[in-house]
Structure 1
Amino acid sequence: MNSPDQRLPVSVITGFLGSGKTTLINHLVRHPAMGEAAVIVNEFGEIGLDHTLIEQSDEHTILLGTGCLCCTVRGDLVETLHDLSIRRHKGEVPPFKRVVIETTGLADPAPILHTLMSVPVVARYRLDTVITTVDAVNGAATLDRHGEAVKQAAVADRLILTKTDLADAATVGNLLERLNGLNPAAKTIEAVHGKLDPGALFGGHQFTTETKTEDVRGWLSEEAYGDHDHDAARPDVNRHDDHIRSFCLTFEAPLRWNVLAAWLDTLAGKHGEKLLRVKGLVNVEDIDEPVVVHAVQHLFHPPARIAGWPEAHRRSQIVFITKDLSCSEVEDILARLEQALGEPLETGGPPAKQRVG
């Protein structure tokens, strides 16, 4: 009789930019069943805004701010998992029973999965489930334009279809048919606003390549035999598209909502397909609470207030992840709009932006 597997299960939540990973995790960490889970968060760039927006349930939420979870961050992932195991053994952290890793939306999942399946240092863990969020509104276009999104969908055990309330039935049906072609073995679950019971996502098996397509097995084999030397002649399968940029605009004074809304609407109208993600925490004139703004391509979600400011300062920060759209172009659109409206975005004087990225 085989003894029970004592290794800690690890679930990987992946999905392209703006597909709903953060929303899903925000709901999961509030669920009583997730009280004994350690959550590892990763993001694109060096800006900690995603960590701000993930409402940390306890000390188990860990921010990795070094970039995508691919070979450039592989050591950090291994070190983090090893450190968590040691601290758990010493009683320095509560005895978590599951680890959840959120990847950046730009991550190629193959290096992450290969690490969890093969690196000796993480032998205390087992890869349990791969969960991929797919945006029902933009999903088909994202699959057309971004190879990472195709890989993310193809490796999944669970495909979480988000924003179905914003898409018509024909769009959802066509996307489901396409996802079934990419990954016929995956279970597809619809989630509105990220609301899912953890029991529908985790547990019950160990990740295996046996149910995956030949393409997936090939990607993982490349990782097994690749040397991950970025200077080698072999193409770097983990390299991001050179056309993708990440930058943050910071504003010190409160913002005029009418100017902010007009700016974001103009960006979506003129360059929606280039806005991979816009996410910001902003200080709006005459509103005490911070306001979250969030957009993916042409779709801007309704602004939402959150309970309080995470920092003593109340400066606004808006993070842009774009393709073939520079920071200066985004700033130029704002400047022209301010001139047309006859008032600046910031109250109390002319714009005073700080750029990061």
Structure 2
Amino acid sequence: MTKPTGPVPPIPLSILTGFLGAGKTTLLNRLLRDPALADTVVIVNEFGEIGLDHLLVEQADEGMVLLSSGCLCCTIRGDLIATLEDLLRRRDNGRILPFRRVVIETTGLADPAPVLHTVLYHPYLAIRYVLDGVITLVDAVNGMATLDAHAESVKQAAVADRLVLTKTDLLPECGAAGLVARLRRLNPAAPILQAAGGEATAAALLGAGLYDPDGKIPDVRRWLQAEAFAQDRDDHAHEHAHAHGHGHHHHDVNRHDDRIRAFCLTHDAPIQGGAFDLFLELLRSAHGPNLLRVKGIVAIAEDPDHPVLVQGVQHVFHPPVRLPAWPDDDRRTRLVFVLRDLDEGFVTRLWDAFRGRPAVDAPDAAALADNPLSLRGAPRLR
């Protein structure tokens, strides 16, 4: 059989995460029955811990099992990078049938950042795989207590592209309203789907990222959900006015939540490519660990008709992708930030400094540039 020539389309990869007992395996079992997940590889941290036994039909190879849905299940043996590379070798050598998608199920205590790092930053894997989205499950019964006690669960919710609320059928009507409100404060942009209501379908969960197998311009509006942040600001303003008007505050967000802030930075005019490069470099070097997630579309002055897509996790940024055209009539720069232990004002003042409108208390860009870390490791616009 003649191998196809030309670049190989990247393989979409979804991350399924959520705290212990959130129902990840139950949802995964249901999703695997959907034809949309045929020819999918499922990667799990510990094979013995997942409940896929009723779907297994044949041992394919060491650590790999064929599922009746047409999927392939394998374990992470030591290193996720090695597992993803091994899958590509088997696929390219014809040892397994070509798969069309990868789903990684993390352990309940997992920080999703290392998996995101692997997909976004590794020079080879970043070419062959493309992040299709982070799906986070939240247990409606125990969700509040979990968010209170475990910072990992807060981070899982904050970086999600899709939030799935499980076990709502075990609660009285509107019993999850407080949890939903809390999740919306943590992550204004992620749609919240109810598993018990049948909303967490493959169609609703897949395709949350930028990759379009049909070669169409990606739906950036759906990816960023930037308009959700405007509503979030209105809600915060209402809470603030309500608290001051009554002499008390009903805002009972836990200390873990207080450490995290999500917002969208917008700008009408294009920015010089060099200035944007330096903005990212200085932000990453000064506060890399606090950048839980950054994603956006940027208008570059040197080529305003072809916007640039950027996304990063902590200090790691994926090489920027230049689009052939704007996906809609909105030609503004829109950057979504999920921050931990970092004031939104620092980011906006640094942005103002580099777009040529420094605020009175803007960071000293020249002083930051003296930091030797600021000139290493961040991707350049091309």
Structure 2 residue aligned with 1:284: none
CA distance in 2, matches of 1:173, 1:59: 36
> 1:50 deviation in Å?
2.0
In structure 1, list runs of 5 or more residues that go unmatched. 67-75, 226-236, 238-357
Letter matched to residue 49 of structure 1: E
Q: 161-170 or 176-185, which moves further after superposition?
A: 161-170
Task: For residue 120 of structure 1, give the secondary structure of its aligned residue in structure 2.
Answer: coil
Provide, for residues 147-203 of structure 1, a one-character-per-residue CA deviation record: whole Å limited to 9, x for no partner.
Answer: 000000000010001111001234311110000000000011101298842111101
Give me the whole-angstrom Cα distance separating, in 2, the residues matched to 1:95 and 1:193.
33
Deviation (angstroms), 1:213: 2.2
Asked if 1:42 corresponds to 2:133, the answer is no
Residue identity matched to 1:42: N
Q: Which residue of 2 aligns with 1:289?
A: none
CA distance in 2, matches of 1:38, 1:204: 18
Q: Does 1:112 align with 2:115?
A: yes
Is the aligned partner of 1:218 residue 2:309?
A: no
Specify whether residues 50 and 203 from structure 1 end up closer, same or farther in structure 2 by C-alpha distance, changes over 3 A only.
same
Alignment counterpart, residue 74 of structure 2, candidates 34, 40, 62: 62
1:173 equivalent to 2:177? Answer yes
Cα separation, 2, equivalents of 1:115 and 1:40: 14
Q: Paired residue for 1:8, among 11, 31, 34? A: 11
Query: 1:206 offset after TM fit, Å?
Result: 2.5
**Structure 2 SS opposite 1:179:** helix
- With over 3 angstroms needed to count, the CA separation of the structure-2 counterparts of 1:204 and 1:185, relative to structure 1, is closer
1:296 is matched with: none
Residue in structure 2 matching 1:161, options 162, 165, 171: 165
Q: Residues 1-357 of structure 1: matches in 2 within 5 Å?
A: 6-43=9-46, 48-50=48-50, 53=53, 55-56=55-56, 57=67, 58=70, 60-64=72-76, 76-123=79-126, 124-192=128-196, 196-203=200-207, 205-206=209-210, 213=262, 218-219=291-292, 223-224=314-315
Over 3 Å counting, the alpha-carbon distance change for 1:181 and 1:195 in structure 2 is closer
Q: TM-score when scaled to structure 2? A: 0.50
Compared CA separation, residues 137 and 65, structure 1 to 2 (3 A): farther
Counterpart CA distance in 2 for 1:183 and 1:129 is 14
Tell me how far apart the structure 2 counterparts of residues 37 and 86 of structure 1 sit (CA, whole Å): 16
Query: Cα RMSD between the aligned structures?
Result: 3.2
Identity over the aligned pairs, expressed in percent? 48
| Offset from partner CA, 1:192-242 (integer Å, 9 cap, x none) | 2988421111015329789692699613578537xxxxxxxxxxx9xxxxx
- Residues 116, 313 of structure 2: 8 Å contact kept: no
TM-score, normalization by structure 1: 0.53
Can you give the 5+ residue segments of structure 2 that lack an aligned partner in the other structure? 1-5, 57-66, 212-222, 227-260, 264-286, 294-311, 317-339, 341-382
- Name 2:237's counterpart in structure 1: none
The CA deviation at 1:115 is 1.7
CA distance in structure 1 between the aligned counterparts of 2:89 and 2:96, rounded to whole angstroms: 9
Count of residues in Structure 1 that have an aligned counterpart in Structure 2 = 213
Structure 1 53/20 Cα, relative in aligned 2: closer, same or farther at 3 Å? farther
1:222–1:63 Cα change, 3 Å: closer
Instruction: Name the CA distance, whole Å, in 2 between partners of 1:217 and 1:54.
Output: 42
Instruction: Find the counterpart in structure 1 of residue 379 from structure 2.
Output: none
Determine which structure has greater relative contact order: mean sequence separation of CA pairs < 8 Å that are 6+ residues apart, divided by chain length. Answer: 1
Shift, 1:95, TM fit: 1.1
